[in-house]
Structure 1
Amino acid sequence: MAQPSYRTIVRYYWMQMRKHRGYFAMVFVMYAIGVVFAGLITPLLYRHIIDVLAASPDPLQAWPTLVRLLIYVGATMIIYNAAYRLGDFAIVRFESKTMKDLMDFAFTGLTRHSYRFFTNSFAGSLVTKVKRFVRSFEDAFDAISFVFWMTVVRISGVIIVLFITAPFLAILFLGWTVLYILFAWYLTKKKIPLDLAESTADSRVTGRLADVITNVLNLKMFSSRTREISDFVDITEDERKARHRAWTFGNKINIIQAVFFALLEFSSMAIALYMWRNGLISAGTVVLILIYLIAMFESLWDIGKAMGRVSQKFADASELVEILETPIDIQDIADPETINTGSGEIIFDHVSFRYGKKTNRVFADFSLHISAGQRIGLVGSSGAGKSTITKLLLRFADVEKGKILIDGQNIAGVRQDDLRSKIAYVPQDPILFHRTLYENIAYGKPNASKEEILEAAKKAHAHEFISKFPQGYETLVGERGIKLSGGERQRVAIARAMLKNAPILILDEATSSLDSVSEKYIQEALHELMKNRTTIVIAHRLSTIQGLDRIVVLEHGKIVEDGTHTELMKEKGVYANFWQHQTASFIK
């Protein structure tokens, strides 16, 4: 996908900025008033003071005029300080509110993407991109309001005043300013690819760092710290090179700008002194020009640096904007149907599916009918299509051809959230939120009562180990539930599924991490949970599914056997062969 343009980035920012137009306008109005009084009117008063001092040999005669001018100076100080402080108040309110809205907007937009998108992305890198998107707004808006806007107001005022007092200098200033800004913008555009490369390299470092920290157990178990350090050093070296190129180019821009400023400063002062020598301007006007020159040079120098800073911040923001601009691969239709409240009949009707255009089909004209309330097990070698069936049923991916029906209704025609509300899913390796045990169980039914949560935990045999923690249900489980054992995490996930009480249940070998004693109790709880529910069990250990109503054996995306455990054992086919290998391995 093409890199988002500045216009696109600004459009995303403006969507949230416009909600706070009042504060937005107040920022620019107050800062404009402050600049006019501090940067334009006050120097004019100083010019008058100097002219009075130069023209009046008698201090007593000049004193009343000087007092009046001093009062004016005091009044302007009060006005511009009040304006600046009101502007500061407005920008704090505006930026804090807008940044909150941008964070909410980014979170909403990011979570709209499909499960497949997140499996192909580094979690740490995504977090960094969201934070950068929000922080970049703050930095860019600060540059626009404090540098660009104030400079525009100051330069406009200076040129107007100079057109009145020294027209030739005004024309020189105006021409030079336009030339400088155009040249600075040209150099900034040249720097944009370098800023993008730096941001990309930084994201790679963040992603690798998060990946290693997440997999620190593997790092320790495989004694791979030295190897990971070596790889990390290579990645940070790429980041250093990208940053060095961007910063070096920025220094070259500064050198060119310094030459521009030196030439203008020298020529402007020479012209001003020449005009004073010939009696065209007063000494006060020379001082006024000097004050304006210093202010303009500082402002224009800041503009050059601010252009580079805004370019860098927009490069940072572009990474998330690119994600927000990426089409959502799994979308709800414009006018979705209301989902049926049936009993859970599932039909895969001549389904074809592949994970990518250049990959082989997982299913080609695949059909499967699961009656309401039926408990089936899916068996097959790795890659046979077991997990793909559950992903398609949950709409983590969409079919190429055919359709999937639940209670006679095409799942592509209902909202994804409505569809998934009818399905409880217990994965083989549950991942929990870094929240309390109570919150993790309640995730299956946010409005559940405490009694319902405790009952679900007891049925899943999670209450026993939870009660042993000093904080009980208020115990934080750590990132991804790392403080719990695999079996404990699985029991929490089972409790969550029990609480959800959905008509369709998917179990991805939900007892694989349990000890034999716990497994006995959990199997009893799961059998109770399966009653009157359509249940799909992905089986890795065949002993866990032999009591199900039906077992479907898959090979290369096709159903090769279908029946009960007893029936399939009598056929002495693929299933019987799997069973024989597992029991033989167990006996050995």
Structure 2
Amino acid sequence: MTDATFDEYDDEDEAGGGRRRTLSNTQLLGYIWRHWTAEPRRFAMAAGIFLTATFCDLAIPWAVKDLMDAVSRTRDADLAWKAWGLLSGLYAAYYLLRSTGFRLLNGFYARIMERIVTQGFSRVQSYSSDWHASNFAGATVRKVSRAMWGYDSASDALLLMLMPTLIVLGGLAVSMGVRWPLVGLFVAVLVGFFAVYNVLMAKYFTQPANQLSNRLDSSIGAALADAIGGNPVVKSFGAEAREEQRFAEVVARWRRSVIRTWNRFNLTGIGQNLMLIALQAGLTGMLLNAWTKGQATAGDVAFAITSFMLMAGYMRNFSEITRMLQKGLDDSLDVAVFMRTPPQLADKPGAPVFRGEMGEIVFDKVTFGYENQPAALYRDFSLRIAPGERVALVGPTGSGKSTFVKLVQRLYDVQGGRILIDGQDISAVRQGTLRRAIAVVPQDPALFHRTIAENIAYGRPEATADEIELAARRARAHDFIAGLPKGYQTLVGERGVKLSGGERQRVAIARAFLADAPILVLDEATSSLDVETERQVQAAMEELMVGRTTIVIAHRLSTIRSADRILVFDRGRVVEEGRHGELVGAGGAYARLHAVTEGAA
């Protein structure tokens, strides 16, 4: 697959910022630290337990030295048994403390992972419709779910592996330096070089490759969701083989990248092993040389060998530590970026709830344009819709009809002017409360893979079964629902695929009935219905519109004959307005649209 075609699966931006954002390892470590310290007492207890266990491990070479000296020099049985008891006690304490620490960490980690994924989901939910339109759902799902496991890997690497490694290596270097300055200096220099080598290799050699692998991993989720979501289209064109090939190319690109990443980790490990060989040869050789000169005992040599084995065990894991840590940080990157990037349409601090029951809508000198368009769609646009008025919006594609409704819902912020509903500036109130006052029935209703009852009650989850059934009856949906094996408890499938287009439309209309909002938006709400059902639903909608401000987006002009006012849009302007008969008689833009649609009918 070429870079150009791969870009189809690459998000346009990380969090609505336009360009891909990244964070340094230091910033990512700060992100993990904030999660740790959200429960300071539990974190301090866990860290203290593992710290104590590490000091037990650090003391083992000295206990071995005492035991060997007692056996080889003094031949004092009591002293030997005491040394044996100390060594055995250190081992027992080490394993007991670690087991206790792991038990404490289980709940601590699980709560943090829960918090990471729920906060990530909440932040993604808060992003604008434009952001969601620019980012693949499959890639976003992958990023959010991957972040909690990234935290798990990074935390294990830091708390359970890196911290003990640094304490043991540093502690042994210092304790050796006190007794044998040259040996301590040799160990300290080699350990320091080892640490610097790993940090530099992680930052400049393995991290870039690993981050690219993660992006390609996200592209797998994006490509998979794109193809599965469009499966009906794939089948209708018999394009299964083509989609399989397309997906295989995305996976193949990931495979090449992840092999390169793993090879870089392996090359880093080769350098680590060479330094381990140098440590073994140098440490044991220097103590053996001291023994030959009578400057060290057999216990000292045993101490050197035990110290090397202990240090080698930790250092040998350093490759795994750096790999786990870097991968964990990289896996956490996307959600960490999300959490640092505020929503594009944020509520103002202390914003009040929206309180409106009349449904008056006023556009006051509104200027608005989409980011990807060179010119503004609306310029100083003003319009008033009276409470309870039924207004139809007509006009060619791109004329501004759908944008009008999106602005009323505050899915975008205007660049100039203001929009008032019942006298309240919608940019100053809480978005959730505003949108709950607007019931929308779209042309292609999206249902959740939940029961029919849950989908109807989505706007009023506290609704009773009787209220749900009444809404379905008014939407002419009860009969087909009652005929299903599980009735209102039938699962509708992802996006409602188990229902026909007309059935989905009627469930969406029932949802609008139950929401009982003062403003109603109908976007070709009867477009998927047969003629007989359309008549029935139209009658039900006439009842629903009574006493509510209604905005109807229409392409079939026959559905808006009863509108109080028809607004004809063209390039973000209202070029004509009036009732159906008046506009047809005027012989203008609406009359021409009417002639075309009537002729097509």
Task: Calculate the TM-score normalised by the size of structure 2.
Answer: 0.93
Query: 1:583 — aligned with what?
Result: 598
Q: 1:124 aligns with which of 138, 153, 159?
A: 138
Which residue identity does 1:107 align to in structure 2? F
Matched residues, number: 581
Q: Decide which of 432, 443, 446 is 1:431's aligned counterpart.
A: 446
Deviates more, 1:469-478 or 1:527-536: 469-478
- 1:136 equivalent among 150, 154, 162: 150
Report deviation, 1:374. Answer: 0.5
Which residue of the partner structure matches residue 238 of structure 2?
Answer: 223
Counterparts of 1:167-206 in structure 2, within 5 Å, are 167-190=181-204, 191-206=206-221
> Paired residue for 2:366, among 330, 342, 351?
351
Alpha-carbon displacement from aligned partner over 1:93-118 (angstroms, at most 9, x marks no partner): 21011111112211221111111111
Aligned residue identity for 1:17: W
- Aligned pairs for 1:376-415 (under 5 A) are 376-415=391-430
Alpha-carbon distance between aligned partners in 1 of 2:366 and 2:81, rounded to the nearest angstrom:
91
1:478-489 to structure 2, matched below 5 A, reads: 478-489=493-504
1:348 match: secondary structure: strand
Aligned to 1:24: 43
**Which residue of 68, 71, 81 maps to 1:53?**
71
Percent identity (aligned): 35
Tell me whether 1:34 sits opposite 2:48 in the alignment.
no
Secondary structure of the 1:293 match is helix
* Deviation >6 Å, runs of 4+: none
Shift of 1:143: 0.7
Partner of 1:81: 95
What residue is the counterpart of 1:316 in the other structure? 331
CA distance in 2, matches of 1:529, 1:97: 46
Q: Is the 1:27–1:145 Cα contact (8 Å) retained in structure 2?
A: no
What are the equivalent positions in structure 2 for 1:289-328 lying under 5 Å apart?
A: 289-328=304-343
Supply the distance in 1 between the matched residues of 2:92 and 2:341 (Cα, whole angstroms). Answer: 51
Q: Alignment partner for residue 559 of structure 1, among 551, 559, 574?
A: 574
> 1:299/1:563 Cα in 2 relative to 1: closer, same or farther (>3 Å)?
same
SS of corresponding position for 2:295:
coil
Distance 1:270 1:17 in 2: 43
CA drift of 1:333 comes to 2.1
**In the alignment, residue 62 of structure 2 is paired with which amino acid?**
L
Residues 212-251 of structure 1: matches in 2 within 5 Å? 212-251=227-266
Aligned to 2:166: 152
Matched position secondary structure for 2:494: coil
Q: Distance in 1 between matches of 2:123 and 2:257?
A: 29
Is 1:435–1:477's contact at 8 Å kept on the other side of the alignment?
Answer: yes
Quick check: 1:348–1:367 contact (8 Å CA) kept in 2?
yes
Deviation for aligned residue 1:121: 0.9
Match of 2:104 among 90, 108, 116: 90
Rounded to whole Å, the distance in 1 between the matches of 2:253 and 2:353 is 52
Q: What is the CA–CA distance in structure 2 between the aligned matches of 1:380 and 1:220, rounded to whole Å?
A: 34
Where does the alignment leave 5 or more consecutive residues of structure 1 unmatched? none
Distance 1:312 1:13 in 2: 14
Alpha-carbon shift at residue 128 of structure 1 (Å): 0.6
Give the C-alpha shift of residue 232 in structure 1. Answer: 2.3
Q: CA deviation at 1:335?
A: 3.7
The structure 2 residue matched to 1:530, chosen from 529, 545, 552, is: 545
Shift of 1:246: 1.9
Aligned to 1:3: 22
Counterpart amino acid of residue 10 in structure 1: L
1:444 aligns with 2:466: no
Structure 1: how far apart are the matches of 2:460 and 2:30?
38
CA contact (8 A) 1:550 1:562 kept: yes
- Whichever residue aligns with residue 387 of structure 2, its letter is A
**What amino acid does structure 2 have at the position aligned with 1:92?**
N
TM-score, scaled relative to structure 1: 0.95
CA distance in 2, matches of 1:112, 1:42: 53
The separation in 2 between residues aligned to 1:81 and 1:248, in whole angstroms, is 34
- 1:200-225: per-residue Cα shift (whole Å, max 9, x none)? 12111221111111111111112222
Let me know the Cα RMSD of the aligned residues.
1.8
- 1:418 positional shift: 1.8
Contact 1:428–1:509 (Cα < 8 Å) also in 2: yes
Q: CA deviation at 1:576?
A: 1.9
| 1:195 CA displacement | 1.5
